[in-house]
Structure 1
Amino acid sequence: MDNAQFPPFEPGSVWLVGAGPGAAGLISMLGYYALGEADIIVYDALVGKELLKYANPKAQCIYAGKRGGKPSPKQKDISLSLIDWAKEGKKVLRLKGGDPFVFGRGGEESETLAKAGVKFRIVPGITSGIGGLAYAGIPVTHRDTNQAVIFLTGHDETGAVPQAVDWNAIATAAPVIVMFMAVKHLGSISQKLVSAGRKPSDPLAILSNTTLPEQSVLTTTLEKAGDLVEMGNVPTPAIVVVGDVVNYREILNWYQPSENRLG
């Protein structure tokens, strides 16, 4: 690593690393260093497979992905496994898509580690709610459109529309709303936002497989989003963005997916 002075990845510790929104080149230098040092790598479904090519060749790579409607490891079991490996003296890398603390359950896992007395480090990553939009030519903020943005998840731990979200307050609280994991319930969410005062004509974009060669972007309006999803042509994983910033895609659509596998 060109003699860079990184903090030591100590045996018996766990690093929770954000892998970024998909393209391997978007991981941080510290995250890249951790890949080469780890003994155990526990990675999520949203981690780009290209990135694992840069892992320590002696590391054990373990898939722990969670995708809606498919069998997946229980969160408690994942957290307990991290503890067990750390107590065996392993260098454990928990590799998460995006940023560990942005709808990535990194808070839950690090809390469990702390209570178990396991030393850990958080390595932030580029969340798809910002980086994914950038690759679609959509700035998450722009002085001419918005001075605030809201990030929310489109489902709770049961898989249903989040009941804890105050949709009436959310609807008009910020000019731009970015929604993670919202495609399944986008029709219902759109209706809630419109009923609460959001303009039906607000531009909306659905960004799928952001930063990867298979990236796709669908644009519509808030009132028509549910119909678009019902047609069944929306790939996932996807990010949904609502607001006038979507219109900047017409002139800022810079990314050509065939350019570079790493980013």
Structure 2
Amino acid sequence: MTDRKTSDHNQQQDGRASLEQLVRWRRDVRRFRPDPVPDELIDRLLRLADLAPSVGNSQPWRIVNVRSAETRTTIIKNFQMARDRSAEAYAGDQADLYNRLKLSGFDAAPVHLAVFCDRSALQGHGLGRQTMPETLDHSCACMVTVLWLAAREAGLGLGWVSIIDPAEVSKALDAPADWKLVGYLLLGWPEEEHLDPELQRYGWQPRTPFETRYFEAGSIAERAGVQADEPKASGVPMGTVTLVGAGPGDPELLTLKALKALQSADAVLFDDLVAKPILEFVRPGARMIDVGKRGYRTSCKQPDINATMVSLAREGLKVVRLKSGDPLIFGRAGEEIEACRSAGIPISIVPGVTSAQGAAASLKVSLTNRDHARRLQFITAHDRRGHLPEDIDWSAVADSAATTVIYMPKRTLAELTDVALVHGLDPNTPTIAVANATRPDEQVFIATLATIAAELHAAHPDGPVLVMVGEALRYATVRDVSEQADAIVAALDVMPGQS
């Protein structure tokens, strides 16, 4: 097994985003929340961006904070006119798509910044500009890039508007004649976050393989005519995607096949619920992309994960989609399989130990005890909206001869147990909740169907939780904690060995 420290991963130990995550978490935001951005944060970000490199240390950028509502209205009108003119260049379906695209975030972005390049800047004494005067513009682009990365790290989004008339914007801002507009930037808190740019998401332009933009001396003429949208013609082999089950948390529950996949991966997209020790088995040098929830952003959307898998595979990479438990058990694997198939990406699946199995093993209980359970069923306690699903078969849940395992029950457990009781399930049915199954911080809550929701709510455990219901659970024993035997007696009024 390959071993390495967590600090080797792109995800920093303090939970902040790595550089690669910031770069991949796109900057071209067009949908902002109107919440204000504190002036001190804007000042900090601009001062950080001001440290960007520039040719000859010329620092040619000039940043104008556009606070005036009247001036903003003038610039928005300019954008609308420029957009209408640009639309004339397109026809048919492309024209329809262009008109549907959201190409700016003027309507909600709380911060507007105009960035100019001062062509008359005396700093730097002209170093580098005698042969390449455009490096002044390039220096300003470096500054904007630093600002974008700093904004992303702070949780802000940045949109770079280019569909405007530079002369009219300069006039509206009363800019000196030697100032050339580089870009009009919109800054604010993103309304939604995506790993792929909006133009790619809506079908305007997909990303093309890296190899179509990388050359070695002597091969430029040979490859310059290769079409970027034909990855096979560029000589780039198609990559693969493997859905891998990480198990409930204990690294020793990884399968050999899962371990091989992690140690041969070029890129790993991992969920927030994947136990950190498991990430230590990923091949050193592989790209690590956290597609779970983090404080610097909202939740990663499933379409973004699909798009990222496909994009990385089209670069010729071996992509692992690492999921807690088993990817085929409430892991939204179906959507990812379909995304790969639609894109022509080869996909394979490595099953994992699901959390129900891990929890049952820790409790040393058979979920299919033949004296008490003729059926084992898995259900989820929330739908796409986070509500209790409306299509649960309550007669099956109320079957006293079934063991039911409830995944993702935190929000809706009280409602679920209430409905199950209405449908006839005995309130004294043994019920056990397990948080962080198989992990060192595993917690077990032994109760009955009637009391489990209140007990779990009072404890408010961190981490993933599942709840198991059924007569077979009367035989559960908590690992190496003798006082839990008293809890079994108190909750179920029966000794573990009795039936």
What TM-score, normalized by structure 1, do the two folds share? 0.87
**CA contact under 8 A between 1:11 and 1:91: conserved in structure 2?**
no
Aligned to 2:397: 170
What secondary structure does 1:223 align onto?
Answer: coil
Aligned to 1:124: 351
Match of 1:136 among 357, 363, 378: 363
Match of 2:441 among 214, 217, 221: 214
- Mapped to 2, the partners of 1:234 and 1:81 lie a distance apart of 32
Match of 1:76 among 290, 293, 303: 303
User: Which region of structure 1 is more displaced relative to structure 2, 83-92 or 122-131?
Assistant: 122-131
- Mapped to 2, the partners of 1:255 and 1:86 lie a distance apart of 46
CA RMSD of aligned residues (A): 1.9
- Mapped to 1, the partners of 2:261 and 2:313 lie a distance apart of 15
What secondary structure does 1:130 align onto?
Answer: helix
Q: Do structure 1's residue 64 and structure 2's residue 291 form an aligned pair?
A: yes
Aligned to 1:33: 260
1:204-246 CA-partner distances (Å, limit 9, x unpaired):
0000101100001001100112221332433431110001222
- Mapped to 2, the partners of 1:106 and 1:73 lie a distance apart of 15
What secondary structure does 1:199 align onto?
Answer: coil
- Mapped to 1, the partners of 2:245 and 2:262 lie a distance apart of 11
Aligned to 1:53: 280
Flag the 1:79–1:173 CA change in 2: closer, same or farther, 3 A: farther
Which runs of structure 2 are paired with 1:18-29 in the superposition (5 Å)?
18-29=245-256
- Mapped to 1, the partners of 2:326 and 2:465 lie a distance apart of 15
- Mapped to 1, the partners of 2:462 and 2:283 lie a distance apart of 32
- Mapped to 2, the partners of 1:82 and 1:185 lie a distance apart of 32
1:73-93 CA-partner distances (Å, limit 9, x unpaired):
000010011000000001101
- Mapped to 1, the partners of 2:276 and 2:457 lie a distance apart of 29
**CA contact under 8 A between 2:238 and 2:345: conserved in structure 1?**
no
Aligned to 2:322: 95
The code of the aligned residue for 1:131 comes to G
The code of the aligned residue for 2:252 comes to G
Aligned to 1:203: 430
1:17-57 CA-partner distances (Å, limit 9, x unpaired):
11111111111101100111001000012211101111110
Aligned to 1:238: 465
**Which consecutive unaligned segments of at least 5 residues does structure 1 have?**
2-9, 257-263
Match of 2:269 among 42, 45, 58: 42
What secondary structure does 2:311 align onto?
Answer: helix
The code of the aligned residue for 1:184 comes to R
**Which consecutive unaligned segments of at least 5 residues does structure 2 have?**
2-236, 482-499
Report deviation, 1:11.
Answer: 6.0
- Mapped to 2, the partners of 1:235 and 1:19 lie a distance apart of 19
- Mapped to 2, the partners of 1:136 and 1:214 lie a distance apart of 14
- Mapped to 2, the partners of 1:164 and 1:98 lie a distance apart of 24
**CA contact under 8 A between 2:265 and 2:318: conserved in structure 1?**
yes
Aligned to 1:104: 331
Report deviation, 1:111.
Answer: 1.1
What secondary structure does 2:411 align onto?
Answer: coil
Report deviation, 1:134.
Answer: 1.3
The code of the aligned residue for 2:407 comes to F
Q: Do structure 1's residue 184 and structure 2's residue 411 form an aligned pair?
A: yes
Flag the 1:142–1:204 CA change in 2: closer, same or farther, 3 A: same
1:113-165 CA-partner distances (Å, limit 9, x unpaired):
01111001011111112222211223221122112111000101110111121
Question: Identity over aligned residues, as a percent?
Answer: 37
Equivalent residues, number: 244
The code of the aligned residue for 1:102 comes to I
User: Which region of structure 1 is more displaced relative to structure 2, 127-136 or 212-221?
Assistant: 127-136
Q: Do structure 1's residue 154 and structure 2's residue 385 form an aligned pair?
A: no
Runs in 1 of length 4+ with deviation above 6 angstroms?
A: none
The code of the aligned residue for 2:392 comes to V
What secondary structure does 2:328 align onto?
Answer: coil
- Mapped to 1, the partners of 2:387 and 2:278 lie a distance apart of 31
Higher relative contact order (CA 8 A, sep 6+): 1
Report deviation, 1:254.
Answer: 4.0
What secondary structure does 1:108 align onto?
Answer: helix
Flag the 1:66–1:181 CA change in 2: closer, same or farther, 3 A: farther
**CA contact under 8 A between 1:179 and 1:240: conserved in structure 2?**
yes
The code of the aligned residue for 2:328 comes to F
Flag the 1:138–1:45 CA change in 2: closer, same or farther, 3 A: farther
Report deviation, 1:168.
Answer: 3.7
Flag the 1:173–1:104 CA change in 2: closer, same or farther, 3 A: farther
Aligned to 1:4: none
Report deviation, 1:255.
Answer: 6.1
Aligned to 1:6: none
